[in-house]
Amino acid sequence: MTKRDYLSVDDLSVDELADLLAEAAKMKSKPASYQNLLAGKQIAMIFEKPSTRTRVSFEAGINSLGGRAIVLRADELQLGRGETIEDTGRVLSRYVDAIVVRTFQQERLERLAVGASVPVVNALSDRSHPCQALADLLTIQEQRGKKLKGTSLAYIGDGNNVTHSLLLAGAKMGMEVRVATPEDYAPAPEVVERAKEIAAHTGGKVIVTDFVPEAAGGAQVLYTDVWTSMGQESETEARLKVFEPYRIDAEVVGMAARDAIVMHCLPAHRGEEIAAEVMDGNLAVVWDQAENRLHTQKALLANLLT
pLDDT in tens, 157-206: 999 999 999 999 999 999 999 999 999 999 999 999 999 999 999 999 99
Q: For the chain, list the domains and their CATH numbers.
A: 9-128+293-305 (3.40.50.1370), 132-289 (3.40.50.1370)
Q: Annotated catalytic residue: which of 5, 247, 265, 295?
A: 265
Q: Annotated catalytic residue: which of 53, 239, 293, 295?
A: 293
- Does the active-site annotation cover 201? no
Q: Annotated catalytic residue: which of 129, 164, 178, 264?
A: 129
pLDDT category at 80 given cuts 50, 70, 90 is: low
Chain segment 81-135, per-residue pLDDT in tens: 678 999 999 999 999 999 999 999 999 999 999 999 999 999 999 999 999 999 9
- Does the active-site annotation cover 102? yes
Q: Annotated catalytic residue: which of 53, 102, 127, 247?
A: 102
pLDDT at position 81 is: 67
Contact by Cβ (8 Å): 102, 72: no
pLDDT at position 50 is: 86
Closest alpha carbon to 229 in 77, 72, 54, 49: 49
Q: What is the rounded distance in angstroms from the CA atom of residue 214 to the CA atom of residue 236? A: 26
Chain segment 61-72, per-residue pLDDT in tens: 999 999 999 999
Chain segment 122-167, per-residue pLDDT in tens: 999 999 999 999 999 999 999 988 789 999 999 999 999 999 999 9
Query: What sign results for the dihedral spanned by CA atoms 143, 230, 166, 154?
Result: positive
Query: What sign results for the dihedral spanned by CA atoms 121, 16, 263, 296?
Result: negative
pLDDT at position 232 is: 77
Q: Annotated catalytic residue: which of 225, 239, 247, 289?
A: 225
- Does the active-site annotation cover 225? yes
DSSP class of 306: -
All residues at 6 or more sequence positions from 199 whose CB lies less than 8 Å from its CB, including other chains: 171, 174, 177, 205, 206
pLDDT tops 80 at residue 77 = no
- Does the active-site annotation cover 68? no
Angle between helices 161-172 and 14-29 (to 10 degrees): 100
Please compute the mean of the pLDDT values over residues 17-21 and round it to a whole number.
Answer: 98
Closest alpha carbon to 246 in 280, 219, 212: 212
Q: Annotated catalytic residue: which of 10, 108, 111, 132?
A: 132
Distances (CA, A) of 224 to 72, 145, 177, 241, 261: 30, 22, 13, 17, 12
pLDDT at position 78 is: 66
